[in-house]
Amino acid sequence: MTGRDRLRELIEAVLDDDHPTLGAMASGAWASPEHLTRQVSRRAGEPPVTLRRRVLLERAAWRLGEGASVTDVAFESGYESVEGFSRAFGRAFGHPPSERPATPRPWLPAPNGIHFHPPESLWIAGEQEPAHVVFAQLVEHDLDDTRHLIQLAEGLDVRDQRREVLAGTVVLSWDGEEPSLAHVLSRHVQGKEVWAAAILGEDQPRAQVDDAATLLERHDAIAPRWLALVRDLDQRRAWGDRLIDALCDPPESFVLSSVLTHVITYSAHRRQLARHALRLLGHRVDEGDPITWWHDRLHDPAGDRP
């Protein structure tokens, strides 16, 4: 999905059930034992045999916590005897395997954040990031993906942009029907324009349905202002502040964090509606997955989106 990841390939070879020895691990990784040991030690911070033994002991602790017998778990973990398994388990966890683990996630100290994750997966801990970083990623992905979709729409005839392939579609009751790609993308961009004007105390923009070329100009005007607004709210820790919209009858009060959550929610919905419209018009389009977006950004931050 996101290209070749050699470290992942090496770890998979190390932890494969069919690779109990260093030689088998190396064969599964298409490498010599010396090269495998050097690469895993350098990139994961511990030798492959040590990594495998630790993760299997973590899995053993989870299995014991689920009620499996010490004997079964010992042989599942690759030990030739229950006694050898019990000694290794006791050294690692500080108690015999007959005692129930004190934590539902029995992880051992690791230099790389790689741990067993039940039932048969891995958990790789990364740098701890505050919640606002995740929120910033959602905002930036939305802006990038919106521009991508408008550019795709630019490649269509204006009649196709306005063709009512989504007849009857209503996203928000007060916005009315959004029957075409042009309607969906216009309402999508307008949402940020409206809320930015309300937060910044500016005149409300006029609702209009534009062709993609004009809409791209609108998006490129609001996108940097919207991102700057979000960053300013975050820096000032103003998410709990309230906006009172006196134009509503009666006036309504909105907490700013809920406004941003509202925008992200309906932005995501409209972006997927736009993809659906593009497909109905006979055009191929990507999934808009933020995982792929983030991977591409990390590996080619200056590259163009496919």
Report the half-sphere exposure of 205 (CA within 13 A, side-chain side): 18
Helix 33-44 vs helix 6-15: crossing angle, to nearest 10? 110
- What pLDDT shows up at residue 242? 85
pLDDT tier, 203 (very low <50, low <70, confident <90, very high otherwise): confident
In the chain, where the domains are located: 6-124, 131-299
126/128 Cα distance (integer angstroms): 6
Closest CA to 111 of 27, 30, 201, 43: 43
5/240 Cα distance (integer angstroms): 41
pLDDT tier, 268 (very low <50, low <70, confident <90, very high otherwise): very high
Pinpoint the alpha helices (H) of the chain.
6-15, 22-28, 33-44, 48-65, 70-76, 82-93, 131-154, 158-161, 181-200, 212-235, 256-280, 290-299
Q: Give the model confidence (pLDDT) of 96-116 as tens digits.
A: 998 876 666 788 888 887 888
pLDDT reading at 13 higher than 50 = yes
Average pLDDT, the chain: 86
222/96 Cα distance (integer angstroms): 62
pLDDT reading at 1 higher than 60 = no
From residue 62, alpha-carbon distances to 86, 95, 100, 263 in Å are 15, 14, 9, 41
> In the structure encoding, which two tokens stand for residue 144, read together?
């990038």
- What pLDDT shows up at residue 296? 82
pLDDT reading at 2 higher than 60 = no
215/209 Cα distance (integer angstroms): 8
Architecture of the domain spanning 6-124: Orthogonal Bundle (1.10)
From residue 102, alpha-carbon distances to 46, 106, 153, 236, 304 in Å are 26, 8, 56, 41, 49
306/296 Cα distance (integer angstroms): 10
Asked whether the beta carbons of 244 and 261 are under 8 A apart, the reply is no
What CATH class does 131-299 carry?
mainly alpha
When pLDDT is averaged across residues 109-137 and rounded to a whole number, the result is 72
pLDDT reading at 4 higher than 60 = no
Write phi, then psi, for 117 (nearest 5 degrees).
Answer: -130, 115
Q: Give the model confidence (pLDDT) of 43-63 as tens digits.
A: 878 888 888 899 999 999 988
When pLDDT is averaged across residues 6-30 and rounded to a whole number, the result is 80
pLDDT tier, 123 (very low <50, low <70, confident <90, very high otherwise): confident
pLDDT reading at 74 higher than 50 = yes
306/300 Cα distance (integer angstroms): 12
Torsion angle of alpha carbons 204, 150, 224, 129, nearest 10°?
120
- What pLDDT shows up at residue 132? 63
Q: Give the model confidence (pLDDT) of 134-193 as tens digits.
A: 788 899 999 999 999 999 999 999 999 999 999 999 999 999 999 999 999 999 999 999
Closest CA to 226 of 215, 236, 218, 238: 218
pTM: 0.63
DSSP-derived 3-state class of residue 2: coil
